[in-house]
A and B are shown apart, each in its own frame.
Chain A
Amino acid sequence: MNPQAAPLVILCSLLFVFCLRAQTNSSAGPSQGSGAVQAQGSLPPITIDPSKPASGGSLPTPDSGGDGITWDGKSFKITDFRALDSKFSAYLNEPEISFAEEKEYGELIEKITDLLDVYRIRGRNREYLIREVMPLLRKASRHPRDGGLCRSIYNAVGTDLQAKDASDSKKERMKELEKKVDSIKWNMKMAAQSGTLAPQGSKAAQDDEIQRNVKYTFLNDELQNTYAEMQALAKQDLEKMGDSRIALQRVVVGLFLARRFDHVMIGSSIYRLMYSDGAGEVKLQQRLIAEAAENAKQLRAAANVATSESTKTVRSSNYKEDQKSSSRVESGITSMLPGTTAVMDSMTGAKLQIAAAIPDTMTEVEMISQEAIDQCNRYLTAVKGHMAQNELDNALQRLQEAFAAGENLACVRSFPREMKQTLWKYKNAVKEARTGLASKDLGKAKEAIAKVNQMTSDNPLSKEGSDIGNVETISAMHLAKAKEAASRGDREGMNKELEEAAKAWPQNPALASATAKIIEQLDQQSQNKTELRKLIQQKNYKYIFDEKARFLASAADDDKLLAELNQVLQSHSSSLSYSGKAEELLKRNDPFGAWETAEEGVKKYPESTDLIKIRSDAAMKVPDFVREIEKGRSSAERQDPVTALCAFLAAKRLYPNSTLAKEGIEKSAAQAMSF
């Protein structure tokens, strides 16, 4: 066995034996007749008898769901094992030619099983076996799909027949030896009687007695040797017969552990035909336990094992027998990997547990095997039912369970290929979705889930589909928060939110672009600040006002700059009110008023190009008025109030409503009179 595959096989076997035993027990109880329900659901929960000693460290225990085991604190499901899954995938995707072979082999097995039917073999003997069954068994053993299974049964039967032949020859030898014993005994009797007529006490009589004693002694030795040989022959015969029986039992148990239930049925039927020992007690347990422990040792210290062999000759008078004994000595590196030792210890325990789980009788082996076959048939019926209702997930699970229980059963192997193909496609779609979910590639997962949804009416990923929506929302929310933080210039907050968004959905297509955009925005913000400071310095308030949204966002984190910006915006708003008013006056054909308003605005907001332009436009229409006002101002500045007064009076004459002129007149008049 491949050491790497060993734990898996052991686990599967253990799990399955547990399941079957539990089911067999439960089927005998009140729950009998619930097979149809069991076929659609998972296997019932199993409990291990705590009274049984747990040898070899921690043992796998079935979990509460009943469809898996817990070992060393970890939960395993049958479907979790990659090797099993790959086997199941290969089964689903089996080529057409392989399927035809499987079908042919299955028919052959069914034929043999039929020949070994319990009612058919009643009253039959070994002749029937040799004549009817063995040729078919031989044919099956040569089939490419057999894999040595029928061959092992065939060989076991052959061993038994050889033992029988050897036993016959030994019986003949025994008869010869018995005759020989009779002969020796006669001779000894004769040797005991005196054959001479010489007088007692004479030399001739003494010589005769000496000769008879010697002869008797030889005959006695020969008799003892003959008895010893007879004893050895009888022992050998018994052992050989026992070995051949055990060989067949070993094959049957091996097939049982390998879940080759069809072959178990064949082997056990042959056993029943060959040995009528009632319940057919399985006598292999002790030997199997010893073998399991030995195997575990071999696996554990495969790197360095020294095997020594010694031969001891046992002599009994002139009969000698060579007895061989071998011992295995492990030395050097115990294990290449510490973990391997631990696993192997557990394996030892598992094997012992298997031994404890092996049925006690061949009848029980048969019963469990038959139950497994029936159960697989029920699973397959359920699969077909689910597929008819387009419930592919349930169908796949049932088929997987049937496969796990009896992957080599004819009924499983010959399941319709087109149905397997449908389930294979469905399995791939689910796998794709799960891969997407595992790698948080939600786009891919969403697409795959939608595909699964189209394929089946019992989509197992509908919850995950909803969860994807939630995760997308969460990611989008964090992105929005990151943008908001970036707009505030909060680089730390932005980074945190981006990390959260990435954590929720690493492959969010919006994430990369949004991140780039946000960072760019943040850089842009920094640039905007510089630009704003420059514009304030240049008093380009109009541009600042036009781009106020951008600058407000950029200056949000800089209180001083924000205050400056607010002031600029406020003053520019006021200047806009002046320019609006001036424009309105211009429209109403009041250029004097427009000029005065613009002039007032420009005085307050000299940087307002709008006002300057409007003032200029108005001035073009009322040059005399403007000139007089300007003259009045300049004269007032030159401390010439009378000239100023004249100018303002002239201006007022041109535009009687002039506020500037009125103010100028009042001021100049007062100055003029203050001599």
Chain B
Amino acid sequence: MRRAANQVGLPAVLGVLLFFVGIGLAVYFLVTQSSDTFWNLEKLDAVSYAESAKSFQGGVYLIEGTLEELLDSSSASGRLVSLAVSSSRGVILIPVLVPQNLGSFNLQKGQGLKMKTKGIDRGLLQAEKIEKMM
């Protein structure tokens, strides 16, 4: 039994470890160094969202669309905008709350935007990160 344990050498173990470390580094590199920062986010199912927004509460979603209009705004909550999102049923307008902390982001009607959103109260999508699309 001892002989058997002795047969797996230290180098092998180190090799395996190095292998995993290498993979980890590669992944880290890939993540940190990539230009598309929303690549790992779930894309929002606009059709389902339009049917029942509540069920999207708590989730983080990537949403891409064109800024349609400003629906509402308040100094406390921020700006509520509608994004025209393409879906299997055509364009669907999705309301997204742009919080105050993103107040500096310049929003313009017809602008293509990519947003990292989170389903907050009653399923309202709140933008956490916004990027303009080229």
A residues sitting closer than 8 Å to B (CB atoms) are 639-643, 645-647, 649-650, 652-653, 665-666, 669-670, 672-673, 675
Cross-interface CB contact of B72 among A649, A653, A669, cutoff 8 Å:
A669
Contact digits for B94-131, partner A, Cβ 8 Å, 1 yes 0 no: 11010000000000000000000000111110000000
Contact digits for B40-82, partner A, Cβ 8 Å, 1 yes 0 no: 0000000001111110000000000000100110100100101
What would 18 more interface pairs be, CB under 8 Å, given A646-B92, A650-B92, A669-B80?
A: A640-B53, A640-B122, A642-B54, A642-B95, A642-B123, A643-B50, A646-B50, A646-B93, A646-B95, A647-B50, A649-B93, A649-B94, A650-B50, A669-B72, A672-B97, A673-B97, A673-B124, A675-B121
Residues in B whose Cβ lies below 8 Å from that of A652? 93
Docked pose: A666 CA to B71 CA in angstroms? 7
Residues in A whose Cβ lies below 8 Å from that of B25? none
CB distance from A541 to the nearest CB of B (A): 39
Cross-interface CB contact of B122 among A666, A669, A670, A672, cutoff 8 Å:
A672
Residues in B whose Cβ lies below 8 Å from that of A666? 72
Q: Which of B49, B72, B91, B121 has the most CB of A within 10 A?
A: B72
Residues in A whose Cβ lies below 8 Å from that of B92? 646, 650
**Contact of B71 with A643 in the complex, beta carbons under 8 Å:** no
Report the nearest A residue to B55, measured CB to CB.
Answer: A643
Docked pose: A643 CA to B49 CA in angstroms? 8
Docked pose: A536 CA to B107 CA in angstroms? 57
**Contact of B91 with A672 in the complex, beta carbons under 8 Å:** no
CB distance from B8 to the nearest CB of A (A): 58
**Contact of A642 with B53 in the complex, beta carbons under 8 Å:** yes
**Consensus secondary structure, chain A interface:** helix
CB distance from B76 to the nearest CB of A (A): 9
Residues in A whose Cβ lies below 8 Å from that of B94? 646, 649
Docked pose: A665 CA to B72 CA in angstroms? 9
**Contact of A673 with B72 in the complex, beta carbons under 8 Å:** yes
Residues in A whose Cβ lies below 8 Å from that of B95? 642, 645-646, 649, 669, 672
Residues in A whose Cβ lies below 8 Å from that of B123? 640, 642-643
**Contact of A646 with B74 in the complex, beta carbons under 8 Å:** no
In the A-B complex, list the 6 residue pairs whose CB atoms are closest, starting with the nearest: A642-B53, A649-B93, A675-B121, A669-B72, A646-B50, A643-B53
Cross-interface CB contact of A643 among B52, B74, B77, cutoff 8 Å:
B52
Docked pose: A533 CA to B84 CA in angstroms? 55
Q: Which of A646, A653, A665 has the most CB of B within 10 A?
A: A646
Residues in B whose Cβ lies below 8 Å from that of A669? 71-72, 80, 95
Report the nearest A residue to B46, measured CB to CB.
Answer: A646
**Contact of B93 with A650 in the complex, beta carbons under 8 Å:** yes
Report the nearest A residue to B91, measured CB to CB.
Answer: A653
Cross-interface CB contact of B51 among A643, A645, A649, cutoff 8 Å:
A643
